[in-house]
Amino acid sequence: MKRRLNLALFIILALTWIVQAQEPVDLSIISRIKAEGFEHSQVMDTLFYLTDVYGPRLTGSPNLKAASEWAQKRLTEWGLVNAHLEPWGQFGRGWSVERFSAEMLEPQYQPLIAFPKAWTRGTDGPVTGTPVMVKIESEADFQKYKGKLRGAIVMAGAPRNVRPHFDADARRYDEDDLSRLARAPEPGRRGRWIERLKAYRARRAWRQKVRAFFRDEGVAVVLEPSRGAHGTIFVGSGGDYKLDGQPGVPTLVVASEHYGRLARLLEKKIPVKLRIDVKTQFYEDDPTGYNVIAEIPGTDPHLKDEVVMLGGHLDSWHAGTGTTDNAAGCAVAMEAVRILKAIGVHPRRTIRIALWSGEEQGLLGSRGYVKKHFGDPATMQLKPEHETFSVYFNLDNGTGKIRGIYLQGNDAVRPIFEAWLKPFHDLGATTVTIRNTGGTDHLSFDAVGLPGFQFIQDPIEYETRTHHTNMDLYDHALQSDLMQASVIMASFVYHAAMRDEKIPRKPLPKPRPELKSLP
C-alpha cells in the first residue's frame, strides 16, 4: 500500500512538473516589465491624485465622480482605448460631509476626535447639552427609554477597554505564516463560515433596529465609541443610501479615549456639556452607479474577442482618503496597464481594466457589471460574453506587497500560477494556496463560474490602523510594495492574455436565488 501511495505521489508531482515546464513564461517581457515598473514607476503619482487630490470617494459622491473622470482621462492619455464610465445599475443617494465639530465645553474645553457616519443627517445648527448614556441590548431595553430621549445627545454603547499595543500594528508574513496559508483548510470550515455570516447579518439587523428606534424617538445626536485605539476611528454607514430609505440620525464615531473620558465623567456624576455641529449633504440627482472601464485591444484575430481583466474598487469610506482601501489597488492596476502600454506589448487577447464602485456596500459595481455582461448568479442564465472571458485579477488588501495568490478552490490553475510566480520569488512572491478569500470583487466573477482571483498581500497595518479609518491616508502607502505589486500584476495579466488557452474554470455553480435582489 505504501509503495502504491508513493508511486501515486510521484506521478502527481511528475505531472505537475510537466505542466509547469510546458506553461510558457516570457522572461524577456518580464525583464522589460521590471525595468519599466521599477525605474519609471508612476504608481505613487497616480495614488496621490486618487487620494490627496480627490479625497474620500464614497459611492454616489461628487468626489468619486471626479476621481473616476480623472482615471478615465489618465488611462486614455496612456494609450488605452474605449475608456468610459459605464453604468452598472441604480445605486441610490450620494452623501458627503460639508463640515462638523464635536466639542466638550464642561468641565473643561476639549475638541473631540470624532467623525460622522455616512448617510446620516446634519444637526441643523449646533446642538448643546449633557449626553445621556444609553444601553440597549435586548427588546426589553427599548421600553426603558421610550419617550425619554427626544432632543438628547445619546452615548450608545459602553466605552472600550483601551490597552497598550505591545505588538507592532504593522507586520509582514513570515515563512511560517506563508506555510500555514499554503495548506488547504480543514474540511467543514465552510459550515463555520456560514454560521459567522448568519451571526453578522443578525448583528446588522439589530443595529438597524436600534437606529430606527433613535430616529423615531427624536434623538438629536448619537455618539458611538470607535473600536480602534490611539485616536483611530473606524467609520462606516449610519443610514440608508437607497432612495426610498431613511437617512440616519446625526451619528458620530468618537475616538475610544475621548469617549471613555466622557463615560467616566458621567459615571462619577461630574457635569458634562457637549456641543455638536454637523452639516452633511445628500445627492439624489443621479442615483446611477458607475465603473471606470478601459482596454488594451487584443491583436490575435482568433483571440481578440476574449478578455483578461484586472482591477480594484475605487470607492472608499469617507473619514480618510481611502488610500489602502482601495486607491492602492486601483493605482497598482492602472500602473500595470501603463507598464504594458509603455513597453509596447501586443496582447493576443483584449486586456480590460475595471475600477469598481459600490464595493463597500456589497460588491455592487462588480456584481452589476458581471450580471450585465456575463450572467446572473441568481438564475445562472449566462450571456455570450461568458464564453469569451478568460480571467479577472483583483487587488484589494491594502498597501502590502504581493506574496502569492489565492486559487479560490481552482486546482487546475495551480501549475499555471506557480510558473508565473517563479520569476518573482526573489521579490517575496512565492505562495499559491487553494484557499478562498472573500470580501472583494473577484467574488462577483466566481459567483457565475468565471475565474476570479485575489492576490495574497502582506497585511502591514491594514486591519489595525487603516482599513475603514480616519488614518487611511497617503502617508500609510508603501512605495516599494506598490511597485512590486504593479510589476507582478502586469506580468500575470500579460501571460494570461498571451497563452493559447483561456484560464481553466471550475464547474458552474448552482443558481443562488437569494441574490436576485442585487443589481
Distance CA 391, CA 395 (A): 14
In terms of Cβ atoms closer than 10 Å to its own Cβ (0-12, 13-18, 19+), residue 331 is: buried
**pLDDT given at position 19:** 45
User: What pLDDT digit, counting tens, does each position of 228-280 carry?
Assistant: 999 999 999 999 999 999 999 999 999 999 999 999 999 999 999 999 999 99
User: What pLDDT digit, counting tens, does each position of 90-146 carry?
Assistant: 999 999 999 999 999 999 999 999 999 999 999 999 999 999 999 999 999 999 999
Q: In degrees rounded to 5, what are phi and psi of residue 319?
A: -80, -35
CB within 8 A of 426, min separation 6: which ones?
Answer: none
Report in angstroms the alpha-carbon separations of 389 from 108, 334, 497. 63, 20, 11
Q: Residue type for 491, please?
A: S
User: What pLDDT digit, counting tens, does each position of 94-108 carry?
Assistant: 999 999 999 999 999
Residue 18 binned pLDDT confidence (cut-offs 50, 70, 90):
very low
Residue 360 binned pLDDT confidence (cut-offs 50, 70, 90):
very high
Determine how β-strand 251-254 pairs with β-strand 114-116.
antiparallel
The mean pLDDT value for 354-360 works out to 98
**pLDDT given at position 21:** 55
Task: With beta carbons less than 8 A apart as the criterion, state whether 293 and 84 touch.
Answer: yes
Q: Residue type for 438, please?
A: G
CB within 8 A of 422, min separation 6: which ones?
Answer: 25
The mean pLDDT value for 508-515 works out to 88
pLDDT at 3 over 60: no
The mean pLDDT value for 344-361 works out to 98
Report in angstroms the alpha-carbon separations of 211 from 58, 114, 156, 207. 21, 19, 10, 6
* One-character DSSP codes across 449-499: T--EEEEEE--BTIIIIITTBTT-SGGG--HHHHHHHHHHHHHHHHHHHHS
- List the domain boundaries for the chain: 24-91+287-515, 96-283
In terms of Cβ atoms closer than 10 Å to its own Cβ (0-12, 13-18, 19+), residue 511 is: middle
pLDDT at 75 over 60: yes
The dihedral through the CA atoms of 316, 320, 322, 325 has a sign that is negative
In the chain, % of residues over pLDDT 70: 94
Higher pLDDT, 497 or 438: 497
**pLDDT given at position 204:** 87
* One-character DSSP codes across 280-344: EEEE-S--EEEEEEEEE----TTTTTSEEEEEEE----SSS--IIIIIHHHHHHHHHHHHHHHTT
Q: In degrees rounded to 5, what are phi and psi of residue 321?
A: -120, 15
pLDDT at 189 over 70: no
Residue 105: Cβ within 10 Å count: 12
8-state DSSP, 255: -
Residue 17 binned pLDDT confidence (cut-offs 50, 70, 90):
very low
CATH superfamily of 24-91+287-515: Zn peptidases (3.40.630.10)
CATH for the 96-283 domain, from 3.50.30.30, 3.40.1550.10, 3.40.50.300, 3.40.640.10: 3.50.30.30
Average pLDDT, the chain: 94
Distance CA 491, CA 25 (A): 9
User: What pLDDT digit, counting tens, does each position of 440-499 carry?
Assistant: 999 999 999 999 999 999 999 999 999 999 999 999 999 999 999 999 999 999 999 999
Higher pLDDT, 149 or 22: 149
Task: With beta carbons less than 8 A apart as the criterion, state whether 358 and 89 touch.
Answer: no
Which of 151, 420, 403, 439 lies closest to 276, judged by CA?
Answer: 151
User: What pLDDT digit, counting tens, does each position of 195-236 carry?
Assistant: 877 888 888 899 999 999 999 999 999 999 999 999 999 999
For residue 225, say if its preceding peptide bond is cis, omega within 30 degrees of 0: no
Distance CA 95, CA 106 (A): 32
